[in-house]
Structure 1
Amino acid sequence: MPAVAEQTQEDVDNHIAAQFTSAPCTGSTTHSTAATDAEIAAHLPIKVEPKQRPAKGMSWKKLMERVQGGHGQGHGRNYRPWLTIRRKNPSPTSNQVVSWMPGLGRVAHYFSRGEYHTALMLLWLGVLDIREQFPLWPMPHPHPLTGVPGTQDGQLPWSRGLLKIAQDAGIDHGYEFGTRLPYVATLDLLVSVPGHHGPTLAGFSSKPIDDADDEVRWRTLERLELERRYCGELGIPYRVSYSALIPLLMAGQLEWLLDSANLDYAPHLARLADFFARGFCERPDLSITDAVQASAKHMELDSDTGWLLFRHCAWHQKIDIDLSHRILTSLPARLGGRQVCDALRTQLFGRTW
């Protein structure tokens, strides 16, 4: 049996070797195997070419695709931010927020919790529109108010473009990584507010600064200066906000009210809001809970609907409640919300409306 096994192994080796040689292979098993290995190695590729992967970063083609796709353009619910939050661009330091904003009628992208809280407050104040991650185009371009209903486009000045502004300021504008394409800078929030002769604008840059004495990187200061100069040339008031601008308590209560800011999903309740608010305000001595329940019962509504209307009315200040203090539903509503709102409008925009 061992002789049969050896002969079988030799026959197999000779058969394999014959696949790579023109003549039959003879000799010992060891010699045949060695010849086979050499022949096989000769047929293997010397160098393995890596799979070509698409280049990362911005290119002229990608830039044009984004512009043609409407990024950084539009107004109201049709606006598309230049930058959006994706899985590939998370921040290691900021708490980013992607949220449906009822006051805007679209999903908004905020690259920090401070941006989100500032936007919440601005919507509560009754601004007309907020465009987050608004591009400050490097080349000359129309005024950001162009296309806003109620404005006269022909009388609006053009921007020189941030590239020229940076050159005059002696500040490096910057390029897209690995290219010679000028970087497209963005303003955190560009806000449209009611004016005496039509809408006006205000710019907000939200940075994670907790105190006025906090150390800020030099490049960040340069970017802020370019934003200030850009807004200044177009007559747009500009403000740098920081995390302490919005008290966390107030921001949290605004988040609680946000989903009820409009009643598009329950249009049959919209006509009941004023009536509910009037009934609530007629019961100033009751706790918030009791006033909500009593008003809902009087209108033959269930408790959940009553609380929905309460949050809606509190957001729109149909119910005057001070959101800068903790809302305790076991106590009567604390008045003063409209006064706080007017004070913030005056502080941020120089007037109320």
Structure 2
Amino acid sequence: MSKNNNTWSERKFTRFIKEGRGQGRGSGYKPWLTIQDFPSKGRVSRLKGWKTNRIHHFFTDTQTRFFYLLEWEDAVIDIREHFPLFNLEEKIDTKDINMENFKDKESGFPYTISTSFLITIKDCHGNLEYAARSIKADYELEKKRTLDRLELERRYWKAKGIDWGILTQKEINKTKAKNIEWIHAAYFLLENEEKAKDLGYLTEVLQEELTKSSLQVRLALKKFDEELKLETGTALMLFKHLIARKKIVVDLEKEIKLNLKPDELIARFNEKVREGEGLVSNC
């Protein structure tokens, strides 16, 4: 559904299927809906995922913030947004729901309902589990059509034996999500092969310096840039990278304040965590 033509039809459905939408896993997954498809009620986002190494599409701040929370969880190994519920009416009983509300008014073709997130979780024994989550603004839950749609989702995932739930902005830890947003892009800092060697060395040096510094973190970072004659902001970028890669552990439940000293802000250093690895919790 393009921004210029929102009419949904069998022809568009077929095109979406041929494009591979709603299919694949990990880096190969293509969301059923993208930000190019129709106008959003909130701020749209395109973000490269830590877990998937692909671009994710979100239509609201709440979707984006929940995504950040999922990115941080080591047990989450795949995040598929806007996952389509194919063959919905074949899989569940819809007799008590007015399905005309879920058809295009012009073409009469049924919309393909999608769930905001399908999440793949791997436990410490290597077993895979799945969870589906629908993201809605709290005021939307007062609308009959929204409730009917959510009931369709509930029945669909129940039939597939997959845990499903609803989240609104009230259930999202905004402070933690904003902290992860602040560090998110720095996760990929060493992707550039030309810069990776130098920056990788600098992150190790910065980590060592922070363990010894008694200055406020912001001043320690400024001093690091000045002493090594680096571009202003380089140390801050490296600091974010260290947090993103979980080599530096801070309390993300609280606002990250750079006017604190390292021993006040940083809970611990994880020197043994290799690049690209997170911390795996014990069973």
Shift in Å at residue 125 of structure 1? 1.8
Matches within 5 A, 1:81-160: 81-86=31-36, 89-91=38-40, 93-126=41-74, 127-138=76-87
Residues 1:264 and 2:191 aligned together: yes
**SS of 2:14's equivalent?**
helix
For 2:242, the equivalent position in structure 1 comes to: 313
Distance change >3 Å, CA 316–CA 56, structure 1 → 2: closer
Q: TM-score, normalised by structure 2?
A: 0.77
Residue identity over aligned pairs, in percent, reads 26
For 1:185, the equivalent position in structure 2 comes to: 113
For 2:257, the equivalent position in structure 1 comes to: 328
Shift in Å at residue 103 of structure 1? 4.3
Name whichever of 284-293 and 104-113 sits farther off.
284-293
1:190 aligned partner, one-letter code: L
**SS of 2:187's equivalent?**
coil
Distance change >3 Å, CA 261–CA 103, structure 1 → 2: farther
**SS of 2:64's equivalent?**
helix
> Considering only aligned residues, what root-mean-square deviation do their CA atoms show, in Å?
3.2
Shift in Å at residue 182 of structure 1? 3.1
The structure carrying a bigger strand percent of its residues is 2
Gaps of 5+ in 1: 1-53, 139-161, 339-350
Matches within 5 A, 1:1-353: 57-86=7-36, 89-91=38-40, 93-126=41-74, 127-138=76-87, 162-167=88-93, 170-173=96-99, 174-195=102-123, 196-209=125-138, 216-262=142-188, 263-265=190-192, 266-268=195-197, 271-272=200-201, 275-276=204-205, 278-279=207-208, 282-283=211-212, 285-292=214-221, 302=230, 304-332=233-261, 333-335=264-266
Distance change >3 Å, CA 294–CA 118, structure 1 → 2: same
- CA distance in 2 between partners of 1:281 and 1:171 (Å): 60
Distance change >3 Å, CA 291–CA 56, structure 1 → 2: closer
Q: TM-score, normalised by structure 1?
A: 0.63
- CA distance in 1 between partners of 2:97 and 2:113 (Å): 13
- CA distance in 1 between partners of 2:141 and 2:203 (Å): 49
For 1:142, the equivalent position in structure 2 comes to: none
Distance change >3 Å, CA 277–CA 60, structure 1 → 2: same
For 1:156, the equivalent position in structure 2 comes to: none
2:150 aligned partner, one-letter code: L
Larger radius of gyration: 1
Gaps of 5+ in 2: 270-280
Q: How many residues were matched structurally?
A: 259
Distance change >3 Å, CA 264–CA 209, structure 1 → 2: same
Shift in Å at residue 135 of structure 1? 0.5
